[in-house]
Structure 1
């Protein structure tokens, strides 16, 4: 992507500045879980200070989906049934959902976007576990969850142009990020990286989000996100509900050459999709 104009740079900065701050409680949760000496009770203590996340976690753990024999009334009890990693991912997911509006002037389907982001988050984590186990599972989940958040920025604060880009993507059968470049002058990866940087995530996550459509890839994490994005799209969970207009994509070498073979190796995706739908439904949109 070439240089953007000074005027566009100012518009993007203004849009990013209008987005809510990423919750400090979740940043603290992420800090704790990167510490190998972190105790579950430390994580519980942080979550319990956030009443919104607490209510939503308890709603999930007491849902028919888990079918527990007795009602769970505390985060401390929840961690026994869910485990630290699931509890952490729930907190991260619910915080992200809290920034998403139910409606926007661009006509962007935020509910579908949310499910697709959750599917991509879990796929990125699963791919790393199988093909790149040196990666941190939390980084993989965050990358997948936040990779398309630039679309939300566009939908909220550059709605007319984003609507036009979505229409161009559909009518001219080109990928959305190429339509965004044509209409807006940059794409959702660029503004998404700006936002994640503002939220003070590590630079390697910023770069991963900024380049998740780029080939060659900037990191192993970006490779996993790239393939997760392709699989999510194949399953019907592209954030616009579209199949790529770019045709077959060459996979990074570690994944072989056949996307169907990668999908088959990951196994049954139904639970992953069910989890994403349940998280999205419980998290809700304002």
Structure 2
């Protein structure tokens, strides 16, 4: 139990969370400590329990708004806890004046006349109006009036579809051709070394076979093959073969730039790099969580 009070809270922020976030997302933020500064231990434990109950009922992927429609009882509790985290100011109401307030907690458009004359409440109402906050009559710590327009709080429209290719790992004959070329390229590079012979141009055939295997494996387009050829050509120019450093500006640097540009313009090569980046980020997140 708490002393009945009038509070100002950020209702717009809570509504945005209800419209856009799921129980799973809120629980993940809760357990990551995002709300530790604004939520007491009892509220933390209660919110975790309520969200877990929703997730176990397979409503996790839905938005909070949908979960509140499915389970109004838990919905009111979750909404009240979220509102309590956005409370900016709180002014307790004397017991002799609390009789002028509604019986149930509710949002207040304006203070009742008997309370409007109190300096503390008048200052609270004035500041709330200036900052866009909402006044609420709070009788319990996590008891706030639920939004009356819950059905209208539809989720935001989906992100427009982007016509981007999704990388698909090679299968069938294409996969076997890529494997054979890659293995043959490794053999061409390693076998002479095992026989005690250092190839005069190790970047020639081995690099060509390995690059060709990659291009075939990802089913690259003409731009990808041209870009890969430019990169292969740089590695086989006389300046690199003779070991002259720094690399001459012409034609090495322009060929590298052209090769990278052509590779990036190939949609399938770009899809492969995005796939590799997502896999790396996923493994990094998992290792960081452990």
TM-score (norm 2): 0.27
- Which has more radius of gyration? 2
Higher RCO structure (Cα 8 Å, ≥6 apart): 1
Higher relative helix content:
1
TM-score (norm 1): 0.27
